[in-house]
Amino acid sequence: MYDLRTYLATRDLPGGPFYIPEEHLAPPQFIAELDDRPLTLGRAIGGVISLALLVATGVYLFLTL
């Protein structure tokens, strides 16, 4: 998939639009190498809350369907 913002900004240039793959536009906080930090209390609590919300959503959908 290509970055639509880059295409729209460069589509009227004489050489044509630039097509830049979106995977090269990821912010540094989403790069996998930066996720090697040790687990902190805040990240552990956030992970537990996220997991609980995911399970609660699954149970809700299971019971309503």
Q: How far apart are CA 36 and CA 11, in angstroms?
A: 39
Do 23 and 47 have their domain in common? no
Do 48 and 64 have their domain in common? yes
Do 26 and 44 have their domain in common? no
Identify the domain containing residue 23 by its residue range.
1-30
Backbone angles phi, psi at 19, to 5 degrees: -110, 110
The reported pLDDT for the residue numbered 64 is: 93
- Report pTM: 0.46
Q: Which residues of the chain, if any, have pLDDT below 50?
A: none
Q: How far apart are CA 6 and CA 22, in angstroms?
A: 10
Listed in sequence order, the residues at least 6 apart from 24 whose beta carbon sits closer than 8 Å to its beta carbon are: none
Do 43 and 60 have their domain in common? yes
Structural domain total, the chain: 2
Do 2 and 24 have their domain in common? yes
The reported pLDDT for the residue numbered 1 is: 52
